[in-house]
Each structure stands twice: as C-alpha cells, then as structure tokens.
Structure 1
Amino acid sequence: MPDKASSGGQRENNKKAQVFQSMLLDALHAMRSMEEAESMAPAPDARTKSSDRILDRIVGFTGSALKLGARATDTSLKVGRVLVNSQDQLRAMLAAGQSLKDIREVAGLTLSEMSDALNLKDKSLLEAIENGTATLSFELILRFAALVARNDPIPFIMRTTRNYNPEVWQILNDWGIGRIPLQFEREREFINIFRRHDNARSLSDEGFKKVLEFTRNSFEMSMHFVEQQEMEVAELKAGLQSRDNADDSEPSSGK
C-alpha cells in the first residue's frame, strides 16, 4: 500500500511539474517574441524618449533593478533548503516583498503604475505583496518576470517562486529546472520551422491536419530510431570501459 501511495504521489507531482513547465515555457516564448518585436522597432526620437510608457521605463532599469532586488532573495538552486517553517516563509516573503519594492522604485513607478503594468485590478494586492502580507501565484510571478527580468527570467522566477510558493519551487527543482533553457531553444527551432513556411498559412484545415499528422509520425519514428541508436552507443561505450577497467586491474606478468 505505501508503495502505491508513493507512486501515486509521484505521478501527481509529475503532472503538476508538466503544468508548471508548460506555463513557464509559454511565458518564455512570449518574452522572446517581445524582445524580437522591440529589436525591430525604429529608434525613438526625442519626444518618444521623454514619454511615460510604463514598459519602456521598466525595461530600461532591468539590469540595475535586478541587481538591487537580488540582494535579499538570491538563493542557490542546488544547496538552498526548502522553506517548510511558516516563520521562515514569512521572513522570506518580507525580504522578497522589499526586493520587489526596490525594483519598482528603481524603475520610478508608483504602486498604481506597476499594478496597471501587471494587469491587476488595483494597487492593494501589490501593496500587500511588498509589505510581506500577501503571496504571489506562479502565474503572477511569470507576469513580473516578463516586466522586469526578460533578459534572464529563470533565476528571477525560481528565486521568487521559492520565497512565495515553496511547494511549486520544490516540484520544479525536482523535475530539473536546469533543462528549461535547452528545451526552450529546441521548441523555438520547431516553431521556426513552421514560421519559415508562409504557404502553410494558406492550407485548408484539412490539409494542415494532414501535414501535422505526417510531422507527428515522422517525429515519433525519428525519436524511436535515435533513442535506439543512442542506447546502443551507450551500451557499447560501457562495454569498452568495463573491458578497459578489467585489463587495468590484471597484474602484469613478470619474466
């Protein structure tokens, strides 16, 4: 019975990890698209430079704000312990709230402006977060990252998640957050294959479904072939290594 309960809990954690992973990857794709759109924008003139657009002001202060904000929340993903004690979590939330307040103030934003940028109904929630009396959902953490940490979002997301939602942090940490950058780049390559073929947009729904089915079958067949190939190579290397170790352990015969 304990084994069944343990395996059931593991399956549940894996399911949660997949949900959080999908949310995180979707947010990263959106951030990358925002960066690409900004890079294509024309250089601002003097009037635009003096404008009061919230996003421009936040992005302009991203580097310095994150350095300032990291002072209270910087935690190693490898050695940091999970926050399970309520007093520990309260202290972490107070420090993290002050960190977020520092980021907002360095960006020169009022509570109302930051709340608008985060698409919050009013400033009361943000005020409570900064005071350490309210927590952040994972979805809201991703919104914060899109505003203030687009250049390097994963450390910010993991620090903030660890302080506000240790359970989610543990699930992502156990799953392997270090895989996210590689997986993100691989997904971008898949997306770009589709985007490079403009004529795919003119296909009928039925035609696109056929292309999608061919692509899925081809991908699954390729995956099976390459996995088998890599498994055989790994077994061959292990066999050679074992034989070399056996040869090294044999005493040399003297004359």
Structure 2
Amino acid sequence: MAIAMALTIVAGFSLQAATGRSTFGAPPLVHLHAFIFFGWVVLFVSQNFLVTRGSIALHRRLGWVGAGWASAMVGVGIYTTVAMTRNATTPFFFLPAYFLVMNILSVLCFGSLVIVAISMRKRTEWHRRFMFCAMAILTGPAFGRLLPMPLLVPYAEWGVFAAVMMWPLIAIVADHRRRGYVHPALWWGTATIILMQISMTLMAHSVIGLKLYAVSTAGYRGAAIAPLAFPTPPSSPLITGR
C-alpha cells in the first residue's frame, strides 16, 4: 500500500509536468515544497521497507527524522498555500476560500495523525494504521491532478475526497478479512479524514473562513478575488505557484 500511494503521487505530479501545468521555472518556494513533500514519500516507503526487512532499530532512528520532517511539511505547506492565495493563483476549480482552508486543514490533520502515530510507536498495530491514514491525506493533491477536475465543478473537492477514501476503505476490508474485525485505529483515522473534509466545507463558508481569507490576502492581489466565487479559467496553462 505504501508503494501504491507513492506511485499515485508520482503519477499525479508527473502528469502535471507532462501536460505543461508544472515547470522547473516555478518559484523557489514551490521547489522547496516539492522537495520536502516528495522527501516524505521516499521516507514513508523506506520506513515500510525497513520493517519488512526486520530492520526495526534503523526504522526507529529514522522515525525521529520523520517527526522533524513532518513538522517542516506542516509549516511549508501552510506558507505555500497562503502565498498562492495571496498571489491569486489558486486552482480555478476550487473556491479560493475553500482552497486556503482545505490545504491548511489537510496538513494540520496530517501532522496530527503523525504525532498520534509517533506517540503510539510502541503499539505497532495502532502506529502503522495512523501513519497509513496520515499518508492517505497526502494523496489528495495527486488525485487533484489525475481527476478531470474542471469537469467536476462545483463538486471537485468531493471527487478528491472520494478518491482519498479509497485507501482507508481498502484497509478496512483487508483488516476485516484478515482479523474478522476492523482495528480501532482505522476507525479513528478514517473518522479524522471524514471530519477533516466536512470541516473544510463548513469553515470555508463561515465567518471564520472568510476572515482567514481576508487576513491572509490583505494588501495582495488575492484580496481582489471573491473568496466564494470560482475564478475564471485561465486562457493558458496555470503554472503552479505563479
């Protein structure tokens, strides 16, 4: 499953590059974001590989590297999202306010699940399932590049959510077939993802979400963009991070 998730992410962003919607000419912040997030993908697959090889000691040492790495992901992820919102370069198939809230809550939920997983590192069955659910959240942006998002407006975010939910559902079925019951960690992780999605929608349309958008874009181009109206599709490919 770790490999399947990694391949999904690689496929999504490779398609982005192949279609000209992503370029190495993107701002340095986008390159930093890509390096940190893809670095996590490599680390996640490596950690799973080490466990299958029985290299538990090295797995645990790298786990602390992962803890610091995940913290950097949360910070860089939020900063990059705010920068894109300020520059009015949010994807046109998302409401600008929703995009801002979506990405912030996504990385915060990812970070929270990683923290819980690390705190339960001595309870392997809980630890690995929480890490699995955290990784599932990170596949959202990849599905956002693989799915025909413009055709899904105004329900594009729900298309991504449905795709992300594929991972915990597969795990739930596998758990039930293997054990005869579903481990509680999977229920908690799945509930977190569902609650995250509901919170995104509610918050983006709330006073809090609109205030967050106003504060984030004050003095920038994004302030002139209606937070709850779909932007006009660009006449040329939208280069990520511009």
Report the TM-score, using the length of structure 1 for normalisation. Answer: 0.26
Structure showing greater radius of gyration is 1
TM-score normalized by the length of structure 2: 0.27
